[in-house]
């Protein structure tokens, strides 16, 4: 199908761009109908997840351009970015993301999901500040995790860049400077008199 070829081409190019900047990529299940599909016919997972090859074997994250071309040759896999090596990701709700993005003045790559989750890409290795680790709607993606990357599609739409990695020269901010902006956003959003 023409749309499938066009979509695979866009996804493959995006994955190759990440790889050229030493960001490993991983094929992910892709939306088809009302659920996510991967190469495993009997896969019970109905949400986005790393895909498997035809033998049911997990793909290994890679920045090899030949491997990337092979992965996106037949299927429109989502582009997943493994976290904890080249970067960590702080996933926050939109009401915090908008405040934090303004405070960061475009110095932090930020992707946005169709459901309103904002993902801030930061240098890896630092833990969450205590006031953030207590928040149930904040997720720290570090070693052993992954995030979907634009222009991957979800069941409700396409992920997009609010601030692309290219616009910041593929340079990541220090984790704690971004966490400081999120804490400030939490304080702005907190009811008057509440403490974090």
Give the pLDDT band (50/70/90) at residue 40. Answer: confident
Looking at residue 193, its pLDDT comes to 47
pLDDT in tens, 42-61: 777 777 889 876 655 678 89
* Overall domain count for the chain: 2
pLDDT tens track for 64-122: 999 999 999 988 999 999 999 999 999 999 999 999 999 999 999 999 999 999 999 99
pTM: 0.91
Q: Say if strands 26-28 and 78-82 run parallel, antiparallel, or are unpaired.
A: antiparallel
Which pLDDT score is estimated for 56? Answer: 56
Mark whether 91 and 162 lie in a shared domain: yes
Last residue of a domain, one of 47, 81, 115: 81
| Domain housing 29 | 1-81
Same domain, 62 and 87: no
Contact 109, 54 (CB under 8 A): no
Among 26, 54, 81, the domain-final residue is: 81
Contact 86, 24 (CB under 8 A): yes
Instruction: Please calculate the CA angle 133-160-172 and round it to the nearest 5 degrees.
Output: 55
How many distinct helices (H) and strands (E) make up the chain? Answer: 5, 12
Task: Write down which residue in 50, 81, 112 finishes a domain.
Answer: 81
């Amino acid at each position: 199908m023409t749309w499938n070829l066009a979509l695979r081409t866009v996804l493959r190019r995006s994955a190759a761009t990440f790889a050229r900047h030493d960001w490993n990529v991983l094929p992910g299940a892709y939306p088809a109908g009302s659920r996510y599909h991967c190469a495993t016919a009997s896969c019970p997972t109905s949400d986005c997840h790393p895909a498997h090859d035809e033998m049911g074997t997990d793909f290994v994250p890679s920045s090899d351009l030949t491997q990337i071309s092979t992965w996106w040759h037949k299927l429109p896999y989502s582009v997943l970015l493994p976290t904890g090596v080249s970067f960590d990701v702080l996933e926050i709700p939109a009401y915090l993301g908008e405040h934090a993005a303004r405070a960061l003045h475009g110095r932090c790559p930020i992707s946005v999901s169709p459901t309103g989750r904002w993902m801030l890409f930061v240098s890896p290795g630092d833990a969450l500040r205590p006031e953030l680790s207590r928040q149930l709607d904040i997720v720290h993606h570090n070693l052993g995790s992954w995030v979907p990357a634009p222009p991957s599609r979800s069941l409700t739409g396409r992920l997009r860049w609010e601030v692309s990695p290219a616009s910041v020269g593929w340079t990541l901010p220090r984790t704690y400077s971004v966490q400081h902006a999120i804490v400030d956003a939490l304080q702005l959003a907190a009811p008057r008199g509440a403490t974090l």
